[in-house]
């Protein structure tokens, strides 16, 4: 597989109270078109990734909305796969290219969440879990990940201090990212003394509630060229409810998705220079590093900031922000930028990147691999 990435564009991520959903979509789309040197009439298919616009903005039918914002009448649809909506939308866009039914596909992720109090946002996020199990039990996403974290702590004998290193690293990266939601360096002590959200996770172990949009344009290799290509695509699914899992210290959906993506290439995790992984909670990054094959199970805390692949240089979900539908597409944009920097630094060697986007507690995972030539 070699699918050219033709253009990218995004809003800043953050509390964008002066933007509506159409405003967010439009800004990201037009930036992507400009970056690809294309006009809207070149787009054969419009895909929107979004989780909760009906709940949080009273707006659905986002495929048609995203056609309207670029004055297109191309086929348009919205994909939802909870927090993995962006990654799954990219996988679907790739299918559209490979089917021959579209030469050029625009994929725009968007979410607008910060207008609401935490209770409304949390209830919306919980639609990613079984309503009749986790939601009815009164759980929140933070409380579920707290259970995962406690189980991981007990299994591998680490504690909050080791975990805190993830957030410190990601905030240091986000400080340098002009589009990041939280541009503030933090210390281990900040994490350990921050208000507790769901023990053992403090607020500095949790990604923020953000607004934002990110848009990419991909094309058929028969019609388009680009230095950046998508060379692998994998998806994994596990049960929605964590009550049915054999383990909570790893996520089989990530393992399946990454195996499928690498299976399309001759690469291994050792070949990856830059990766954006789904750190909705700091614990999710440790588990992702292990499931993605960057280190052995139970050892990720020893490798925070020292993996061969640079992890979450954007700031990750923790510091860059987590506007749900936009997150997976934003990861792609970050990896494209990072690969360009790799290439500038070492022009004569190949460079590879990876994105890891997760929905639910390890329920839906999409992994994509990228190259620059």
Point out the residues that are catalytic: 83, 322
Closest contact distance (angstroms) between CB of 69 and a second copy is 10
Closest contact distance (angstroms) between CB of 364 and a second copy is 5
359 binds a second copy per the rule CB under 8 A:
yes
> Quick one: which of 28, 33, 43, 88 contacts a second copy (CB under 8 A)?
88
**How many Å from the N-terminal Cα to the C-terminal Cα in the chain?**
15
**Ramachandran sector of residue 312 (left: φ over 0; alpha: ψ -120 to 50; beta: rest):** left
Options 182-190, 250-258, 281-289, 314-322: segment touching a second copy (CB under 8 A): 250-258
For 23-53, b/e burial (b = at least 16 CB within 10 A) is bbbbbbbebbbebbebebebbbbbbbbbbbb
Note whether 334 and 276 are within 8 A (CB). Answer: yes
Q: Which is nearer to a second copy, 99 or 187 (CB)?
A: 99
313 binds a second copy per the rule CB under 8 A:
no
Q: Which of 182, 183, 180, 186 is nearest to 334 (CA)?
A: 180
235 binds a second copy per the rule CB under 8 A:
yes
323 binds a second copy per the rule CB under 8 A:
no
**What's the residue count for the chain?**
373
What is the phi/psi pair of residue 33, to 5°? -60, -45
Cα gap 313→17, rounded to integer Å: 26
> Quick one: which of 252, 265, 307, 337 contacts a second copy (CB under 8 A)?
252
Cα gap 179→188, rounded to integer Å: 24
What are the structure tokens assigned to 285, written together? 């990054």
Residues 130-159 that bind a second copy (CB under 8 A): 130-132, 135
How many chain residues touch a second copy (CB under 8 A)? 66
4 binds a second copy per the rule CB under 8 A:
no
253 binds a second copy per the rule CB under 8 A:
yes
78 binds a second copy per the rule CB under 8 A:
yes
DSSP label of 14: B
Cα gap 9→52, rounded to integer Å: 21
Chain residues that interact with a second copy, rule: CB under 8 A: 20-22, 51-55, 57-65, 67-68, 72-82, 88, 91-92, 94-102, 123-124, 126-132, 135, 235-241, 252-253, 256, 359-360, 363-364
């Amino acid at each position: 597989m070699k699918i050219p990435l033709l253009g990218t564009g995004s809003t800043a991520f953050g509390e964008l109270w002066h933007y509506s959903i159409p405003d967010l979509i439009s800004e990201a789309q037009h930036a992507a078109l400009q970056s690809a040197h294309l006009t809207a009439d070149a787009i054969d298919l419009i895909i929107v990734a979004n989780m909760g616009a009906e709940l949080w903005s009273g707006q659905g039918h986002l495929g048609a909305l995203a056609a309207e914002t670029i004055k297109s009448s191309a086929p348009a649809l919205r994909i939802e796969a909870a927090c993995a909506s962006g990654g799954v939308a990219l996988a679907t866009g790739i299918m559209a290219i490979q089917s021959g039914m579209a030469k050029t596909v625009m994929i725009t992720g968007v979410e607008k969440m910060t207008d609401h109090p935490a209770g409304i946002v949390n209830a919306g996020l919980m639609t990613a879990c079984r309503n009749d199990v986790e939601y009815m039990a009164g759980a929140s996403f933070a409380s579920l990940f707290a259970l995962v974290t406690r189980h991981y702590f007990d299994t591998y004998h680490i504690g909050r201090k080791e975990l805190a290193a993830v957030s410190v690293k990601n905030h240091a990266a986000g400080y340098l990212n002009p589009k990041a939601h939280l541009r503030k360096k933090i210390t281990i002590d900040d994490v350990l003394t921050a208000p507790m959200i769901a023990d053992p996770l403090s607020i500095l172990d949790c990604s923020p509630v953000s607004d934002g949009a990110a848009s990419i344009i991909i094309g058929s290799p028969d019609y388009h060229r680009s230095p950046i290509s998508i060379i692998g695509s994998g998806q994994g699914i596990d049960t929605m409810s964590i009550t049915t899992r054999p383990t909570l210290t790893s996520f089989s959906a990530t393992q399946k998705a990454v195996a499928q993506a690498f299976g399309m290439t001759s690469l291994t995790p050792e070949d990856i220079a830059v990766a954006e992984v789904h750190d909705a909670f700091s614990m999710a990054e440790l588990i992702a590093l292990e499931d993605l094959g960057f280190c052995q199970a139970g050892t990720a805390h020893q490798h925070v900031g020292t993996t061969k692949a640079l992890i979450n240089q954007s700031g990750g979900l923790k510091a860059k922000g987590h506007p749900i539908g936009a997150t997976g597409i934003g990861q792609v944009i970050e990896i494209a930028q990072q690969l360009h920097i790799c290439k500038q630094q070492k022009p004569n060697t190949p460079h590879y990147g990876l994105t890891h986007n997760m929905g639910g507690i390890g329920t839906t995972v999409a992994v994509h691999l990228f190259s620059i030539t």
